Amino acid sequence: MTTINIYCYVVFILLSITVQIKSQLCENVAQYDRCSTNSACGCFHRVVTSDDAGVCGFLWPTCSHLAPCNASTNSCTQLNTVCVQHPRCYELPLCYPIALSKQNMCPPKTNKINLKWKQNAITVAGGNGYGEELNQLNRPFGIFIDKKKNIFIADMLNHRIVEWGYNAKEGQIIAGENDSGDRIDQLNYPTGVTVDQQNHSIIIADSANRRVMQWVNQKQQILIDNIDCNGLAMDKHGFIYVSDVAKNEVRRWKMGEYNEEIIVAGGNGQGDQLN
């Protein structure tokens, strides 16, 4: 009989340790004080500790759903619960659900780190005043850097894309050297650029013309039309992502399949909510 009791007690201790590890903890935080980036979460002090350590969890669980802790051991027999102080609900310790203290509900606070940038940065493109010479830029907007450290720049007010080689003193125009306009060989306030490194084509957000262009060896084609594009990017799987500033969304296309778009961010109207 004694052996069985000892065995059960050991199992109970192991379960208690497992529960505490899975919960989001808070240390040196007063009872109910904020412990998460979620303002609805606070610190519940554990009964078994003598310091201010506790469980960081949702502050407003339904009181009637919380069972009292075992009075003699200050422990919980229910799975996935931990014994905490919760005087707002009851003066005696209660069993708090671990599900309400996980990081997806109560993300931990990030530590504030003071960062200081080095002051000895170097200019890698431009730096000769604004203008249209090959060693100048005029309101550079988007950039892309390839594996060889070549920099592709959407030189917005010059209505062109320029490429600056690594350590080069000037750039070379690779798209849009025919003044601004809406012809297929012209650009109008380009704001974004990326490179499809499979075929070395240049993909451009031609913002004022409301289109996404592809340039391959001075041959041009419209990939996406009627879009208020601003920035764009491409992943390693050949998907192109374009931000639409009028619709407040980011859309994705598979290269070559421009009739099948997917909204991957936004799409719920203008606003400051997380969606």
Give the mean pLDDT of the chain: 83
Q: How far, in Å, CA of 163 to CA of 149, rounded?
A: 10
Give the pLDDT band (50/70/90) at residue 16: very low
pLDDT surpasses 60 at 254: yes
Q: Flag the least confident range among 4-8, 105-109, 136-140, 221-225.
A: 4-8
How much is the pLDDT for 67?
93
Report the percentage of the chain scoring pLDDT > 90: 28
Superfamily, domain 140-266: TolB, C-terminal domain (2.120.10.30)
Across the range 182-198, mean pLDDT stands at 90
- Given a cut of 90, whether residue 163 has pLDDT beyond it is yes
Tokens for 224, please give them: 């996406």
CA 110 to chain centre: 15
- Given a cut of 90, whether residue 93 has pLDDT beyond it is yes
pTM of the predicted protein model: 0.56
Q: Name residues whose C-beta falls within 8 Å of residue 11's C-beta, 6 or more positions apart in sequence.
A: none
Q: Give the residue-averaged pLDDT of 132-148.
A: 89
pLDDT confidence tier of residue 52, bands split at 50, 70 and 90: low
Give the residue range(s) of CATH 2.120.10.30 domains in the chain: 140-266
For the chain, the farthest-separated pair of C-alpha atoms sits apart, in whole angstroms, at 94
Alpha-carbon distance of 97 to 94, in angstroms, equals 10
